Amino acid sequence: MKEAVQKRNILSLWIEWYFIDIPKGIIRAWMNFLRFNMYFFSIPFLVRTLFSYWHKTRWHYGRGFSFWKYFEAAISNLFSRSIGAIVRIFLILLGLIIEVVLFFSGLFFLILWITIPFITIILFMIGVNLIF
């Protein structure tokens, strides 16, 4: 036996589509953009490895004891870690700035999508008043 198809008018279908279905899709796409940006810039990984060596470049102390070799290796390793931290901080900040821009762009688009029918009706009424 066939299931009874619920008959609904086109206005209620449009309202459900426009104000429920599409905003869900917009939010889902918005979250995908935010998640993509977070992984594109590898922000969690960069935070975990903030003070790691730059390109894993490190100087070894060598065998035996030589104050100047130890001093040279320590300064070089400190320099390598400093460069790594500076580059990682720059990338983290760039990723977070883009994340904020994406967040507010998505919020703007969602609000714009929801308000467009009301803006259209208001502008139509203003246009009719201007004509008559």
pLDDT digit string (tens) for 47-95?
A: 998 888 777 777 677 777 777 888 888 888 888 889 989 999 999 999 9
61 vs 34: CA distance, rounded Å: 44
Give the phi and the psi of residue 130 in degrees, each rounded to 5. Answer: -70, -35
Model pTM score: 0.77
pLDDT for the residue 51: 84
Q: Residue 115: its pLDDT value, please?
A: 97
Report the pLDDT value the prediction gives residue 80, as an integer from 0 to 100: 87
Are 95 and 38 a contacting pair, CB within 8 Å? yes
CA angle 97, 103, 106 (to 5 degrees): 140
Which amino acid is located at 129 in the chain?
N
Q: Does the structure show a pLDDT above 60 at 4? A: no
pLDDT of residue 92: 96
84-90, Cβ contacts within 8 angstroms, sequence gap of 24 or more: 84/49, 84/50, 84/51, 84/52, 84/53, 84/54, 84/55, 85/50, 85/51, 87/54, 88/46, 88/49, 88/50, 89/50
